[in-house]
Structure 1
Amino acid sequence: MPRRNGRPRTFLGHLPLPERTFVVDALRTETVGGIVLLVAAAVALTWANTPLRNSYEEIRDLHFGIGALGLDLSVAHWTSDGLLAIFFFVAGAELKRELVVGELRDPKAATVPVVAAFSGMAVPALVYGIVATAMGGTWNGWAVPMATDIAFALGVLAVIDTHLPSALRAFLLTLAIVDDLGAIAVIALFYTSTIHLPSLIGAVLGLGLFFHLHDRRQVHGWYWYVPLALVIWGLTHASGVHATVAGVALGLMLRVAKDGEVGHRPAEHIAHLVRPVSAGVAVPLFALFAAGVSVSGGTVGAVVTSPEPLGVALGLAVGKALGVFGGTYLAIRFTRARLGQGLALADVFALAMLAGIGFTVSLLIGELAYPNPADQEHIKAAVLLGSLTAALAACVLLRLRNTKYRRLYEAETADTNADGIPDVYQYDNTWEQKHNPSLKRPNDRPYRSDGPDSPTGADG
């Protein structure tokens, strides 16, 4: 049995205090952004299904930009290629942090979430392929149901007022981060038809300069990096590679090491500053001009009778849950990890169901996989139907466990001595207790990791 600190490894146990602080900060912003995203999607659907539909299409298809640079794009194109680059920039920064100082830095600790994430991408693609080919369709949209939309999922959690413990939320965040990396790799490898080599070389050189200034020379000042990032984005767009790839590449370039002994980590600090723009502006605006599909009997009928749309819907609503849960179960089974105190496999399945919300990135890949507007309409409707089905099923499952979640949440946030540090990080034999001797038990009794009050789930 894999062991750490002399005890079995715990999956979904208490997070180390710095990790919990980062996760809470990140998810607080994403939750607000998720609510804005829900509103934007609702506005898009309403706008596109009223007599004002023509005005929606006119604004969505309105072109502006610099034609000489190949940047005379439609509003929808600017939101998908431009604003979503900000979203992927934050995803790249979060992935870099997770790999260097977060939960993914330890290969043993990363085994379960990484296996769950990759299984959660492979199984939906397989479900799509089985359904589509069985009905005489193609594999064109196999990548559409792969991704999890963390903002939409957190917006759903906020609406149903659930109290998920931070470990479950962190697991969902890790799934989404790995999903985003997988999605951007798929976009770069499978949805790039032509390459303009000089532009691509220019983009790579720009990334090298960015890395040299930021990581090697540690030059400060946004006025250096924002213009350089725009140039890199423009060259990436001109190269034929989808411009969002530039966003994740720039995020992965950010430095994680602290600036000085007491300084902040640039990757964390920059992600903290940019995340509100991503979650509150970029993603909702993309949704506003991507989710406006006609909701009619004919559209719904096409989703449930056409091979590709049905494959997408079932890939999200069924394949994602099976993939995430199956991958998690197998990883736990073969590593003999144990679940955190108070949690059960039913909680993992509910979270796996929630991961079937694939709104933002699924819509983006759907646009790339199906350039024909008529096909796009049906694929987008399938993404909405699959995501809605997954959201409703997850809501039911999570609400059934909400009383348990509320108790766990209250226990992990309790601060009886009002010192700003949750009691669980003072009573438990956690990472913080070992690495920060200034943390004392409130009653100042000597701490014993094997004592009768030592919790079983503290080493997560």
Structure 2
Amino acid sequence: MPHLFSRGTWPEARRIADTLRTETIGGLLLLGAAVAALVLANSPWSDFYQDLSGFTFGPAAWHLDLSLSAWAADGLLALFFFVAGLELKREFVAGDLRDPRRAALPVAAAVGGMAVPALLYFAVNVTATEGAPRGWAVPTATDIAFALAVLSVISTSLPSAMRTFLLTLAVVDDLLAITIIAIFYTSTLHLVPLALALLPLAAFALLVQRQVRSWLLLLPLAALTWGLVHASGVHATVAGVLLAFMVPVRTGLAEHFEYRLRPLSAGFAVPVFAFFAAGVAVSGSGGFGAALADPVLIGIVLGLVVGKAAGITGATWLVQRFTRARMAEEIGWWDVLGLALLGGIGFTVSLLIGELAFGAGSNRDEHAKLGILIGSLIAALLATVLLRIRDRHYRRIAAEESVDADADGIPDVYQREA
């Protein structure tokens, strides 16, 4: 069993670093979009913001006459989940996580980081009324772009192994979240369009297996698959993951698509969704005091702040306990806790699940949005304090990783561990 939070291989570390740079930029754009939405929703232009969000267009005959906010949630986030699906498949097929021993930690941490927040939320809301327990999955998601944006703002030199762990945990988290959405938040299921969706999906799979890269051929098939999944009653973002899993990894096609689409996902799709989803009027929905007293908000905040930290840290301890793996020498339990607190920054998928659980624009949905914002902010502040305290230690590790005595392009520390 490798040491927990060991560095892994140099090619994987370099690829993860490139990915994180894109996600960090996307996270800063996400922060900007969320702030703009909050400002507009609580300003004299709030009516304009609501009208813009509710502006409807699309072919009604195909049941695609959707509002702008719905297009962002159902359409743009399908691209986000497509990229997440590509990343997950690459990790487990060609990355360091093809080794089950290395995969055990981030998978266990993702499961623990979803189970404990869900249980905490349910404990708070089990006796609540008006469908409050339906929001149990809201605090289970980790937003990697938001978390990396926080790291960028506080300028901490988090070791590459821990950044890799955070990214992998978030990707596994996304897959589990889309599974939860498909199973628990599909209210009506129409089998005919769902079965028909298999036809363009199969055609897409056949083309990508033959290394076809033409968007003129692939995009119509992907759009048709998305439309039929949407018509089936299953949330349309599921189509993004299904399409991603069809793309072969070892031939480099998945890497090609990810390279092309990740900037579009991180730099456009997710910020636009955040702009339409995060605009909650603080003075609305019975007032700020009423929102703070809502068990939905309380459960979400506890889930994100306490549940995520306890779930991720606890799962990591269990992996160490039952596999007898040792922690990497430079990493301590305070570092794991800081990382777990970063995992409590939930945003994109949490907002989506809140809309599905309570109905977009409902009072409970507004309170859920406030809970997500407050919980993510508290988790970010606590993580900032802890990681800044440890930053001198991280800078020493980063200096060691950057040493390249023989100028071959590979830091010597990776060659020593190879």
Give the TM interval when normalised to the shorter protein. over 0.9
Match of 1:269 in 2: 256
Q: Deviations over 1:168-211 (max 9, x none)?
A: 00100111011101110011011111122221111122211111
- Equivalent-residue separation in structure 2 for 1:76 and 1:196 (angstroms): 24
Match of 2:245 in 1: 252
Match of 2:118 in 1: 125
Match of 1:317 in 2: 305
Aligned pairs, number: 415
Match of 1:143 in 2: 137
Match of 2:373 in 1: 384
Deviates more, 1:59-68 or 1:297-306: 297-306
Q: Deviations over 1:75-103 (max 9, x none)?
A: 10000000000000001001111111223
Distance 1:393 1:51, change over 3 A: same
In the TM superposition, what is the alpha-carbon distance from 1:420 to its structure 2 partner? 2.2
In the TM superposition, what is the alpha-carbon distance from 1:299 to its structure 2 partner? 4.5
Q: Deviations over 1:281-340 (max 9, x none)?
A: 000000000000112496442343111221111111111111011111111111111122
Asked whether the equivalents of residues 9 and 96 of structure 2 are also in contact (C-alpha less than 8 Å), the reply is: no
Asked whether the equivalents of residues 312 and 379 of structure 1 are also in contact (C-alpha less than 8 Å), the reply is: yes
Match of 1:420 among 379, 393, 409: 409
- Equivalent-residue separation in structure 1 for 2:164 and 2:7 (angstroms): 10
Match of 2:173 among 179, 183, 190: 179
Match of 2:272 among 261, 285, 290: 285
Q: Does 1:237 align with 2:224?
A: no
Asked whether the equivalents of residues 129 and 311 of structure 1 are also in contact (C-alpha less than 8 Å), the reply is: yes
Counterpart secondary structure, 2:238: helix
Q: Which residue identity does 1:366 align to in structure 2?
A: G
Q: Deviations over 1:193-245 (max 9, x none)?
A: 11222211111222111112212x33332221111111111111111110000
Q: Deviations over 1:91-118 (max 9, x none)?
A: 1001111111223312222112111110
Q: Which residue identity does 2:247 align to in structure 1?
A: L
Q: Does 1:340 align with 2:333?
A: no
- Equivalent-residue separation in structure 2 for 1:103 and 1:313 (angstroms): 34
- Equivalent-residue separation in structure 2 for 1:103 and 1:48 (angstroms): 44
- Equivalent-residue separation in structure 2 for 1:299 and 1:411 (angstroms): 52
Q: How does 1:364-403 map to 2 (within 5 A)?
A: 364-371=352-359, 373-403=362-392
Q: Which runs of 5+ in 2 are unaligned?
A: none
- Equivalent-residue separation in structure 2 for 1:112 and 1:344 (angstroms): 15
Asked whether the equivalents of residues 296 and 364 of structure 2 are also in contact (C-alpha less than 8 Å), the reply is: no
Asked whether the equivalents of residues 15 and 166 of structure 1 are also in contact (C-alpha less than 8 Å), the reply is: no
Q: Deviations over 1:137-166 (max 9, x none)?
A: 742100101110000000000000111111
Q: Does 1:155 align with 2:149?
A: yes
Asked whether the equivalents of residues 332 and 338 of structure 1 are also in contact (C-alpha less than 8 Å), the reply is: yes
Match of 1:18 in 2: 11
Q: Deviations over 1:268-287 (max 9, x none)?
A: 22111100000000000000
Q: How does 1:355-370 map to 2 (within 5 A)?
A: 355-370=343-358
Q: Taking structure 1 as the reference length, what is the TM-score of the superposition?
A: 0.87
The structure richer in helix per residue is: 2
Q: Does 1:329 align with 2:322?
A: no
Asked whether the equivalents of residues 144 and 166 of structure 2 are also in contact (C-alpha less than 8 Å), the reply is: yes
Asked whether the equivalents of residues 172 and 355 of structure 1 are also in contact (C-alpha less than 8 Å), the reply is: yes
Match of 2:62 in 1: 69
- Equivalent-residue separation in structure 1 for 2:370 and 2:54 (angstroms): 19
Match of 2:162 in 1: 168
- Equivalent-residue separation in structure 2 for 1:116 and 1:412 (angstroms): 25
In the TM superposition, what is the alpha-carbon distance from 1:415 to its structure 2 partner? 2.5
Q: Does 1:294 align with 2:281?
A: yes
Asked whether the equivalents of residues 132 and 138 of structure 1 are also in contact (C-alpha less than 8 Å), the reply is: yes
Q: Deviations over 1:363-400 (max 9, x none)?
A: 00000000162221111111111111111111111101
Structure exhibiting the larger radius of gyration computed from Cα positions: 1
Q: Which runs of 5+ in 1 are unaligned?
A: 3-8, 259-264, 431-460
- Equivalent-residue separation in structure 2 for 1:95 and 1:10 (angstroms): 22
- Equivalent-residue separation in structure 1 for 2:233 and 2:338 (angstroms): 39
Match of 1:83 among 57, 76, 82: 76
- Equivalent-residue separation in structure 2 for 1:108 and 1:204 (angstroms): 34
- Equivalent-residue separation in structure 1 for 2:363 and 2:281 (angstroms): 11
Q: Taking structure 2 as the reference length, what is the TM-score of the superposition?
A: 0.96
- Equivalent-residue separation in structure 2 for 1:202 and 1:296 (angstroms): 46
Counterpart secondary structure, 1:58: helix
Q: Deviations over 1:55-75 (max 9, x none)?
A: 110101110111121111101
Asked whether the equivalents of residues 302 and 309 of structure 1 are also in contact (C-alpha less than 8 Å), the reply is: no
- Equivalent-residue separation in structure 2 for 1:416 and 1:332 (angstroms): 34
- Equivalent-residue separation in structure 2 for 1:253 and 1:96 (angstroms): 10
- Equivalent-residue separation in structure 2 for 1:138 and 1:160 (angstroms): 35
Q: Which residue identity does 1:363 align to in structure 2?
A: L
Asked whether the equivalents of residues 65 and 71 of structure 1 are also in contact (C-alpha less than 8 Å), the reply is: yes
Asked whether the equivalents of residues 30 and 279 of structure 1 are also in contact (C-alpha less than 8 Å), the reply is: yes
Q: Which residue identity does 1:247 align to in structure 2?
A: G
Q: Which residue identity does 2:274 align to in structure 1?
A: A
In the TM superposition, what is the alpha-carbon distance from 1:135 to its structure 2 partner? 5.7
- Equivalent-residue separation in structure 2 for 1:173 and 1:103 (angstroms): 13
Percent identity of paired positions between Structure 1 and Structure 2: 56
